[in-house]
Amino acid sequence: MHRGAGKALRYKRLSAALALILALAPLLAVLAATPTFTVTATLDKPAYYVGETPTLTVDIEWSDLSQNYTMKLVVLNSTGGEVATLDSAIEIPGATTAEGSTTKTYSLTASIFTAEVGEETYELRLIDTSSGLSVASASFTVRVKNEEITINVAWEDASGDRLVEPYETVEFKVFITWTFVNSSKTLALYADGQFVDNVDVSAGSGSAQKSYYTTFDSEGTHSITFRLEDSSGKVVAQKAVAVTVSRKITEKGASIIEQGIAWVKQNAIVVIILLGLVLIVLIVMRHR
Give me the helices (H) in the chain, please: 2-32, 110-113, 256-266, 268-286
- C-alpha of 175 from chain center: 19
> How far is it, in rounded angstroms, from Cα 41 to Cα 264?
77
User: What is the structure's pLDDT at 28?
Assistant: 46
> How far is it, in rounded angstroms, from Cα 187 to Cα 198?
6
CB atoms within 10 A of CB 86: 19
In this prediction, the residues of the chain whose per-residue pLDDT falls under 70 are: 1-32, 249-266, 268, 270-271, 281, 283-284, 286-288
User: What is the structure's pLDDT at 120?
Assistant: 97
pLDDT 10s digits, 257-278? 666 666 666 676 766 777 777 7
- Helix then strand count (H, E) for the chain reads 4, 15
Instruction: Enumerate residues 6+ apart whose C-beta is below 8 A from 280.
Output: none
User: What is the structure's pLDDT at 7?
Assistant: 60
> How far is it, in rounded angstroms, from Cα 46 to Cα 146?
14
CATH 2.30.30.60 fits 148-245, yes or no: no
> How far is it, in rounded angstroms, from Cα 61 to Cα 201?
43
CATH 3.40.50.300 fits 35-145, yes or no: no
User: What is the structure's pLDDT at 1?
Assistant: 47
- Residue spans of the domains in the chain: they are 35-145, 148-245
* pTM recorded for the entire structure: 0.70
> How far is it, in rounded angstroms, from Cα 58 to Cα 40?
6
Which DSSP letter does residue 153 get?
E
User: What is the structure's pLDDT at 29?
Assistant: 47
- Are 35-145 and 148-245 the same fold in CATH? yes
pLDDT 10s digits, 103-114? 999 999 999 999
